[in-house]
Amino acid sequence: METKRATATKSTGKKISASTSKASPKATSKSSAKMTGKSSTKSTAKTAAKSSEKIPAKQDSAKNLSDLFEDSLKDIYWAEKALSKALPKMQKNATDTKLKQALGEHLEETKEQVKRLEACFKALKKKAEAKKCDAMQGLLDEGTGIMEETKPGAVRDAGIIAAAQKVEHYEIATYGTLAAYAKILKEKECLKHLLLTLDEEKNCNDLLSKIADTNLNSKAINA
């Protein structure tokens, strides 16, 4: 009897061991899933926390609207100088006669716009200083990328117009804001220069739309 019981115990022990062995992968899988879920939740929580954190101001940050106005002038001053170097490349890669002419004319306008910004600095009794504009740098880089990714002709011309209009829209927004600041700050000399440039940017954008809408975009369909 004792021998039989011992055998039964051994047999039962083997069965229990086997049963436990079979259940382990599932248990491990569930445990792993729970851990992954917790990890994902924590990661999401951390990301949400970071996105809602207040951004600390730099030591040289603008303390009032006058400071912000000056900093914004430095940004667009850099942007216009960078654009004056990029426009000749756009003009050289364009094939449509009207587009080449429009880009050439705007290049001359841009040079004058740089001088107007320098006049603004002078009116503020500040040194004309350029501060890298990341937004303009990104737009110009994108413009170069568009030219690299399009074949010369109508397709590239359409791409150049798209890139140029993105730049114009950015400038329209910037000069509109700067004009609003100048008005509030009662900087009449600056306001005069900024409004003149704002009109030029709007006119250039309208001209580019007309060039694209006439027949250039249609040519690009079957180019």
3-state SS of the chain is CHHHHHHHHHHHHHHHHHHHHHHHHHHHHHHHHHHHHHHHHHHHHHHHHHHCCCCCCCCCCCCCHHHHHHHHHHHHHHHHHHHHHHHHHHHHHCCCHHHHHHHHHHHHHHHHHHHHHHHHHHHCCCCCCCCCCHHHHHHHHHHHHHHHCCCCCHHHHHHHHHHHHHHHHHHHHHHHHHHHHHHHHCCHHHHHHHHHHHHHHHHHHHHHHHHHHHHHHHHHHCC
Q: Band the pLDDT of 24: cuts 50, 70, 90.
A: low
Write out pLDDT tens, residues 59-98. Answer: 777 889 999 999 999 999 999 999 999 999 999 999 999 9
- Give the DSSP H/E element, type plus range, for residue 184: helix 154-185
Distance of alpha carbon 148 from alpha carbon 151, whole angstroms: 8
Q: Band the pLDDT of 49: cuts 50, 70, 90.
A: low
Question: What DSSP state is assigned to residue 215?
Answer: I
Q: Band the pLDDT of 16: cuts 50, 70, 90.
A: very low
Distance of alpha carbon 108 from alpha carbon 101, whole angstroms: 11
Is pLDDT at 164 greater than 60 in this prediction? yes
The pair of three-digit structure tokens given for residue 69, joined into one six-digit string: 């106005």
Q: Whole-prediction pTM value?
A: 0.75
In 3-state terms, what secondary structure has residue 116? helix
Higher pLDDT, 43 or 113: 113
Give the residue from 196, 193, 195, 201 showing the smallest Cα distance to 118: 193
Q: Band the pLDDT of 21: cuts 50, 70, 90.
A: very low
The Cα-based distances of 98 to 12, 109, 158, 181 in angstroms read: 92, 16, 12, 35
Is pLDDT at 22 greater than 70 in this prediction? no
Name the average pLDDT for the chain: 85
| Over residues 144-151, mean pLDDT | 96
Q: Decide if 179 contacts 200 (C-beta within 8 A).
A: no
The Cα-based distances of 198 to 44, 60, 145 in angstroms read: 43, 29, 27
